[in-house]
């Protein structure tokens, strides 16, 4: 009998190469983005579009359109979070996208609008205040993202209060002189010196530690639901028919809530941790009954 050739035996005993399909990654195992998360993210993208459109209106000198675009961005910013909670589509991606949307729509856009409207008449000071406002908004958003991950913060305080003025409210308040000017046509509201001082105050309140009300978890008693819906209908009608007068009243009402929130917060959380610790020590030192 003929012996098998060594080369052939080695070739037969060698392991066969893996098919190319085993080397390539399995595409079916990749994480699929849930469809329910697309709805709130799409609303956030629309908010970015509104903020960018506001800057375009400012470049074209269409001031009323610029302010309305910022207000629309604020409405969309309030909707995306509620839709995410309603559809259970919250995600880290959506949170990061929302922060980027806020800095564009409520940080950059209002600064560009105000600078194009009147701040440029104060030369370098006007541009400096525009930069300060945008930077303050960025710092405020970074602080908000950090505090939202802080588990040591009081849950009730975190639920019912913001630290500083929130981004949409700060943007609306920054444009409040324009709204008053559209309503009254009084030149004082367009005065660049007044707008510089006013914008500086809003920027300071944005990064301050002043507590302001959070209306996200606001609940209505069942007995007042019909009155609440009636109020929404009246507000919507006034907003359509007399937009600048309505927004002027809303701005004034929100400014009035700032000192109210401070007083309410102090009364509710006025006991400091040191005082609480002293009270606990006193209770421990008491002799048993």
Distances in Å between the Cα of 131 and the Cα atoms of 92, 94, 134, 156 are 28, 27, 5, 34
- Sign for the CA dihedral angle at 20, 24, 28, 29 comes to positive
- The reply to whether 179 falls in a domain is yes
- The reply to whether 13 falls in a domain is no
- The reply to whether 227 falls in a domain is yes
- The reply to whether 282 falls in a domain is no
- Cβ within 8 Å of residue 276, ≥6 positions away: none
The beta strand positions in the chain, using DSSP E, are: 161-163, 211-213
The CATH number given to whatever domain includes residue 196 is: 1.20.120.1760
- The reply to whether 128 falls in a domain is yes
Q: What is the pTM of this model?
A: 0.77
Q: Residue 255: which domain range?
A: 35-149+160-268
- The reply to whether 25 falls in a domain is no
Q: In the chain, how many domains are there?
A: 1
Residue 191 carries which DSSP code? -
- Give the Cα separation of 285 and 279 in Å (integer): 10
Contact present, 163 and 209 (Cβ < 8 Å): yes
- The reply to whether 134 falls in a domain is yes
pLDDT in tens, the chain (289 residues): 555 555 444 445 555 555 544 444 444 545 555 667 788 889 999 999 999 999 999 999 999 999 999 999 999 998 888 888 887 777 788 888 888 999 999 999 999 999 999 999 988 899 999 999 999 999 998 888 887 766 656 666 777 788 889 999 999 999 999 999 999 999 999 999 999 999 999 999 999 988 888 876 667 777 778 888 898 899 889 988 999 999 999 999 999 999 998 888 888 777 544 444 444 455 555 555 4
């Amino acid at each position: 009998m003929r012996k098998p050739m060594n080369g052939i035996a080695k070739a037969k005993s060698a392991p066969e190469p893996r098919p190319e399909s085993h080397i390539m990654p399995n595409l079916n195992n990749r994480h699929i983005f849930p469809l329910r998360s697309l709805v709130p993210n799409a609303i956030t993208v629309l908010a970015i579009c509104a903020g960018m459109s506001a800057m375009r209106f400012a470049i074209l000198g269409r001031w009323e359109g610029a302010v309305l675009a910022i207000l629309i961005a604020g409405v969309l910013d309030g909707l995306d979070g509620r839709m995410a909670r309603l559809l259970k589509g919250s995600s880290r991606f959506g949170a990061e996208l929302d922060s980027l949307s806020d800095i564009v729509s409520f940080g950059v856009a209002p600064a560009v609008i105000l600078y194009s409207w009147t701040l440029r008449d104060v030369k370098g000071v006007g541009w400096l205040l525009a930069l300060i406002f945008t930077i303050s908004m960025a710092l405020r958003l970074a602080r908000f993202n950090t505090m939202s991950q802080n588990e040591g913060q009081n849950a009730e305080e975190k639920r019912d209060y913001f630290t500083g003025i929130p981004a949409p409210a700060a943007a609306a308040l920054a444009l409040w002189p324009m709204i008053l000017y559209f309503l009254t046509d009084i030149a004082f509201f367009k005065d660049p010196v007044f707008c510089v001082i006013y914008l500086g105050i809003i920027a300071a309140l944005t990064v301050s530690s002043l507590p302001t009300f959070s209306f996200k978890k606001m609940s209505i008693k069942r007995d007042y639901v019909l009155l609440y819906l009636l109020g929404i209908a009246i507000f919507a009608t006034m907003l359509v028919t007399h937009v600048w007068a309505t927004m002027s009243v809303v701005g004034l009402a929100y400014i009035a809530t700032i000192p109210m929130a401070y007083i309410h917060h102090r009364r509710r959380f006025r006991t400091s941790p040191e005082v609480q610790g002293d009270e606990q020590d006193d209770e421990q030192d008491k002799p048993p009954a």
